[in-house]
Each structure stands twice: as C-alpha cells, then as structure tokens.
Amino acid sequence: MSYPFAEIEKKWQLYWENNQTFATGEDLSKPKYYVLDMFPYPSGAGLHVGHPEGYTATDIIARKRRMQGFNVLHPMGWDAFGLPAERYAMQTGIHPKVTTKQNIDNFRRQLKSLGFSYDWSREIDTTSPDYYKFTQWIFLKLFNSWYDAAAKKARPISELKIPSDLEGDAKKKEREDFIANHRLAYIANMPVNWCAELGTVLANEEVDEWVGKGYKVERKPMRQWMLRITAYAERLLTDLEHVDWPAGTLELQKNWIGQSTGALVHFGIAGSPEKLTVFTTRPDTLYGVTFMVLAPEHPLVDKIAADSAKAEIDAYRKTTALKTDLDRQLDAAKKEKTGVAIGAHAMHPVTGEKIPLYIADYVLMGYGTGAIMAVPAHDERDFAFAQQFSLDIRQVVQPRESAAELPVTEDGVAINSPIFDGLKTPEAKEKIIAHLEKEKLGERRIQYKLRDWLFSRQRYWGEPVPVSFDADGFMVAEEESALPLLLPESKNFQPAGTGESPLANLPDWVNHEKGGRKLRRETNTMPQWAGSSWYYLRFADTANKERFASAEKEKYWLNGGVDLYVGGAEHAVLHLLYARFWHKVLYDLGYVTSVEPFKKLVHQGIILGEDGSKMSKSRGNVVNPDTVVAEYGADTFRLYEMFMGPLEQMKPWQSKSIEGIYRFLGRVYRLYFGNTHSDENAPAQPTLSAKLLAAPADEKAVLKVLHQTIKKVSDDIETLSLNTAISQMMIFVNEAYRVESIGKEAAATFVKLLSPFAPHVAEEIWQALGEKGSIALAPWPQFNAEYLVESSFEAVIQINGKIRGRTELAIGISDADFESAARSVDAVKAALEGKTVRKVIVVKNKMINFVVA
C-alpha cells in the first residue's frame, strides 16, 4: 500500500484547526513551558527550507512537553516593518501594508502546511496598531526614564534631581537640556550610514546588502534618536551568567560590549584652553607617546586645526565619509595607513612635551573618546602609521626576550619611564594611574566598546515616534492614553528630500495642536529592531488592550525567561542585545519579573544548497518547501530536516537522502496497516495489521527495544539530538518487522514517540488504533529500567585472534564456564581438535581468545 500523505495531512491539519488542538491553556496552576522561534520577516520570496529547520525542532519539544502535561506556549508572529517593503512601495506605489499582508498570508499558509503546533490565536504582526501601541509605550518609558548609576537601575524622570540653579522660567532651556542629557531616549547629531537614493539611514548590518545591490552609502552627521544602552553595559555583561547560551554567542556578546580596564588621560592643547581626553588600556606606555590621532569627525578638530591644514582636512573627511565603520575597521588592519596632520599639538601631561596631532580613519568616533595616544613601539597600527609618516618611535617596555622586534605588544618591564622604570607591566599600570589621579591628570576607568543605539530611520514603513516639538524646540511626548500614534495613510513613499522620512510629506499629520499649542511631530520612525525587541512578552497575553501583558501572565510565562529560544546565529549579537536592554529597563521599572528574557538559546545551522553553497536566487539553488511537501509530504520534510545531522551544524540539502526518509515513513505506515487493497483501482481502506493485534511471540525482545527507544528518544529530544532520536526509531521499526508480532500496546507506545516528529501519520495511526482524541494530548511514554538491564550477551570466540564462533551467554558467567561453553560450540570444537591450547584470554561479558600451537 502506498503512503497517502496528501490525504492524511490535509485531514489532520483541518482537525487541529477546527478543534483548536494547540490553543494555549489558561490554567496558570499547571507547570509552564514557553518555547519560541525567532519570528521571521515575511519576504515576498516566502519560506525556504532553512526556515523550518529551527521551527521543526521547537515543534518537537513543544509537542513532547504537552504530552508531559505542561501548559505550553508555542506562538508565531511576523517582524513585518522593514526596508524591503518600503523600497518596493517607492518603486511601484503599492502601499507596504498590501505587500506585507500578502507575504504574511503566504508564510502562514506554508507554516500550516508543515503541521507546526502553533497557537495561531496568538499570532502577532509588528505593523498592527494593536501591537505597535505598546512598542511606542515602551519607547515612552525609555524617554521618561534615566539611569541612576549609584543604584544601578533606571528610574522615572520624575525622580531625577534637578539642580537648584536651574529652577525658574528663565532657566527652562537649561533645565530641559539637563533632563535630555539624562533620558534613556535622547536626540543627538551622530555620524550615520546615509543612503540618499533610499532616503534613509542604514544599520551597519544593512550596508553590505544594499551596497551589493548598487546603492551608494556615505557617512555623515545627522540628527538622530539614540537609546542609552551604554548605561546598561555592565549589567548586560555580568547578567550573562544567568543564561544557558552557546559559548560562541556568549563570547560574541562579551566582545560587542567590550569591557576594558584602563585610564582616562587628559592632554592639554598647545595655545588653546581645550583639552583632549583619551582612554588607554596601557597607561604604563604613557612615556612612549610620540603623536596622537583623532577620528576625522572629532569636534575638537574644527576648534584647534591650523588654517593651513583645513583644506586637506576637508578633503580627507570627504573620502572618509564614503567608508562605513566596518570598512574603516578592516582598513585599520592593513599596513598602509592614511592621515592628515592638523597643524596643532597636544601637551604631554607628564613630560610637558609637544605632541603632533593627526586625523586618521582608523580611529572611530564611536569608540572610546574618538582619539588615541599613539605609542608606536607597542601597538601595531601606531607602528605602521609612524613608519608611514616618519614619526618618532620610543620604546618604553622591555619584553622578556630582549631581542624582540618592535612593536612589542606583550607585557614586560617599564624602561625609559622616569619614576616607573623597572616595574613589571601590571605594577607600572597601577602606579601610573595613581600618579595621574594624584596630579588630576587622569583617572582609573572601566570602558566599554558598546555604543548607544541609533534608533532613527528616515522611512515611512515603521513605528511613528510618539514625540512632538513646539516652536521653541521643546519636546512634548504623547500621552500614554492617546497611544497608538497611528502611522498615517499615504500614497507618497518617496524621501522628503530634507533628510527626513516620507512622513514629512504629510503636513496635515506633521502639524497639529495640543491645548492651543502648535506642535510638529517627529518624522523619523523607529528601526525594525524595535518591534522584535519585546515580542516575546506580547505572546504571553496578546488579547490585552490595556497592557503589553497582564502582570499575572507575564509572571507566569516569563518566570525565569523564555524556556527555549531557537533561531539563527546571525542574530547572536544585536537582536539579543537590544531585547536584553529593553527587558532590563522594564525590569527596573517593575513591569517584568525576570532578569533576563531568554533562559536557554539554541542556534540551528544553515542549510546549504545541494551544491554546498549558501542558498540564493542568483545561484539557482534555493529549495522551496512547498515543492518538497507536494512530492513527499510534510512529515517526510520534517523528519528529513531533523535527520540531516546535528541541529547546530551547517549541512547541505540532499534530495536523494529525503527519499530514504520517505521510504521509512512508508514502512511505518505498512507496519500498522499492512499491504491490503480493497480493489485495484480504488484507494485502499486500511485496516490494522495482524502484526499489531496478536500478542508478541517474542515479548521480551519487543519490550527491550521498545523501552530502549522510549529512553533514547526522550533523552535526545531534551538535548535536541533529533537525528539520533530518529535513528533509534528506525531501529525499533526494523525490529518490529523482524518479529512475528509486537502487540497493540507496544504499537501505541511507539506511535506516541513518533508523533512529535511526524504528527500527521501519527494521528492517523492513533485513530486507527481506536484511541480517543488527538495523540498530541496523549501522555508521553515512560521507560521501565527493568527492560534495559541486559541478562545475556553475545560472546565472541576467537582462536589466535580470528573469530571462529559466537554464542549467547549469561551476564556474569565465570571464566571457567565461559571457556567450557566456548569449547562446546561446534565450529570452535572442530578448530581446536588436535591443537595445543597454550593460553586462554577472557574479556568479561565480551569475548574469549584461545592461543594455540
């Protein structure tokens, strides 16, 4: 009988939908399990086979948890704001909400066709006003909060102590500036990746994608909303101890936050009241400073540069503006360096020596203070720059190997450093910092590489920022009761031409009044990161109109965080970092109860094309799951994706291998329904195989492999070792075919184990077995350890190291009895005849070897 997957899968998908089989339970007294996928951006291309890999893994564990009696939250939604939909609208005039809805409908159809047990009643869409109402609400919490460094937590702005000299109407501007300098959401002029053709700022991660499509990107300073994530740098680092994440992801998070211990050093400027402060992790090399380098964008350059250097500075800045920060970081690793002397000098804080100042693109304004003290004898980049510009190189650290070539970057002993000579590097650091602090020339500092979050996008298709400005430039936030601030309807998606978003083209929306006060709305929108930074919270209570989630449901579902979070490693840094930041602000303000949002994290590996390359339209190697499901069925597709190899590993798609999985499911189907046909031309009316109904003739063998399978599959699902779980189920099926019968109880137990992996065929078998309700709600099997205890073993018998026979013997048999039993085996008896046994070697419960002459 052929395996009628199309008929079976359609039938059970309809059953699940009609019966709301996977609706999340409301009984908050039950143990909970929250398993979450990183929700997708619904592109026009639809799902490719890489998406369902992680979704299948989470579905398997969600189904097992339901069968174990847990209240399971397993939801799905759409990260649907984004630049691709806006760009398409700019090109075609079709509203982004139209194409976004079409894409979502297609993604939903594809996911349902694969039988995932999502609670579709909790589906969310980040572009829905019901959703972005709370995205805006969280933004206002950030806007109306400040970080109390002493208490190490966010507090409402109402608790910020305003200096007494800023009271009164005359000081309104200064007072507002003081508050703005403390808000967690603030406005600043920042260097950004600007694409004039797209009319928007691009995140660093988006630059390569759009440059690859032929767009030009330049660096330029622009007015931007920023989020003060740097205030949380220490907590974002130390709280990683609370999570169970892959070691590589933890390391990426730590590196991105980038904690460094060192000192701030203050340099005076010759002939100017200005000062230049730098951060260094090697204050022990202070005497080795022979020049200093500023980022080309550093604001001090315009104040101190010589007039004679300004033309060259401007030209260099224009060249630098065409490079992204990533380009500049990559260039920094190259030996060839570029730069411009600005015709000014700093004053060495200890020696009083004049030090020439340069600008160079290998120094970034976004890192540290945007300036460095260059010690070419002990830094590779500084050494290359000094050689390029024929600058002095002064060694101040003696390495362990006195003949080592410059630059010497490792620790050693201080030399050419009066009052610190002879000190080992750690001691020299401490003594120099103490000296700087005593003379008020610097101070000890823990610095972070992490920069504040640039939160503005010049796009139409994004969440409106709920802030307006009056005629004097003072900010006025929307009242929370007035949210959501709706994205206005528009037919014009072209950039405003002023550096603003297309919203600036809508004067009736931009200009409004409040209490007789004329206001102008913010025209920048939020980045796509906004909606994805808190969506896991909304799933806990999607029907709530008053709060992102009720306190009761947040506490229940987010107790300790999301229990299992699965998604691609490409989100290992920024998405996780931003979500953790928002979560911690909400934690400080009392809206969430867990310190971290995601308890356990797993990354699925990339599925490559059959040619071993990353799937892409241009290579023509993309595999559409619709095609696979049509040919082999959803259960085969699910099993194959899990059987390809370890979940976390990268692996190529192989069409021939999926045929093997299809044959395996066919064997399972025939095991339960036999090969009977009602007639040659009509579809079979399957009846249960006699193999299932008769009592097992070899019950001991059946129970042994059954309970081995229960234990192996149960354990492997917990570790997401899903490929080996499938291998064990194959072993069971092979054994079931070997014996005359397995009995109905073993047959029912096995199909429970199969059901999380291949749910459609499992439901069909479950119904045929006469069981009531969905197998998805049946109790998960428990293994009996008694059946796993081995009472016998297959003894291997060798003569002079060559196998001559085998026999079944009792576990624990004595060496003497082992030898006697081995000698009685006919083949061994014949081989030993006429030979002298010089030695007998016994390996307990395994083998025996006769050494003969």
State yes or no: 220 annotated in a binding site: no
Q: What is the pLDDT of residues 359-414, one digit of tens each?
A: 999 998 877 899 999 999 999 999 999 999 999 999 999 998 777 789 999 999 99
pLDDT at 27 over 60: yes
> Rounded CA gap, 450 and 632, in Å?
48
Predicted confidence at residue 1, as pLDDT, reads 52
Q: What is the pLDDT of residue 326?
A: 73
Q: What is the pLDDT of residues 712-746, one digit of tens each?
A: 999 999 999 999 999 999 999 999 998 888 999 99
Is pLDDT at 214 greater than 50 in this prediction? yes
Distance CA 596, CA 531 (A): 18
H/E element, 153: strand 153-156
CA distance 792 to 388: 78
Q: What is the pLDDT of residue 686?
A: 67
pLDDT tens-digit series, residues 614-654: 888 778 888 899 999 999 999 999 999 999 999 999 999 99
At position 430, the amino acid (one-letter code) is: E
Q: Note the pLDDT tens digit of each residue in 533-548.
A: 999 999 999 999 999 9
798 falls in which pLDDT band (50, 70, 90)?
very high
- Report the pLDDT value the prediction gives residue 207, as an integer from 0 to 100: 85
CA angle 759/762/765 to nearest 5° reads 155
Domains and CATH numbers, the chain: 259-448 (3.90.740.10), 655-787 (1.10.730.10), 790-852 (3.10.20.590)
Helix axes 625-632, 655-673, angle to 10 degrees: 40
First vs last Cα of the chain: how many Å apart?
59
Residue 675: band (very low, low, confident or very high) from pLDDT cuts 50, 70, 90:
low
CB within 8 Å of 373: residues ≥ 6 apart: 265, 267, 278, 280, 286, 289, 292
pTM: 0.87
CA distance 202 to 324: 10
Q: Which residues pair with 849 in a beta bridge?
A: 798, 841
Closest CA to 287 of 272, 270, 265, 260: 265
pLDDT at 683: 47
Beta-strand ranges (E) seen in 61-101 are 71-73, 77-78
Answer for the pair 84, 103: CB distance below 8 angstroms, yes or no: no
Percent of the chain topping pLDDT 90: 80
pLDDT at 264 over 50: yes
- Is the pLDDT at 681 greater than 70? The verdict is no
Alpha carbons 657 and 811: distance in angstroms, whole number: 39
Instruction: Tell how strand 837-843 and strand 847-852 pair up.
Output: antiparallel
Which residues, in sequence order, are CB contacts of 738 under 8 Å at separation 6+? none
- The answer to whether 37 and 56 are in contact (CB under 8 A) is no
Give the pLDDT score at 685.
55
Q: Which one-letter amino acid corresponds to residue 186?
A: Y
| Mean pLDDT of the residues in the chain | 93
What pLDDT shows up at residue 237?
97
Burial class (CB in 10 A: 0-12, 13-18, 19+), 452: middle
Spell out the long-range contacts of 148-153 with Cβ–Cβ below 8 A and sequence spacing 24 or more. Answer: 149/231, 152/234, 152/235, 153/588
DSSP secondary structure, 239-299, as one string: GGGG-B--HHHHHHHHHHH-EEEEEEEEEEETTEEEEEEEEES-GGGGGG--EEEE-TT-H
Place of tokens 């002064």: 394
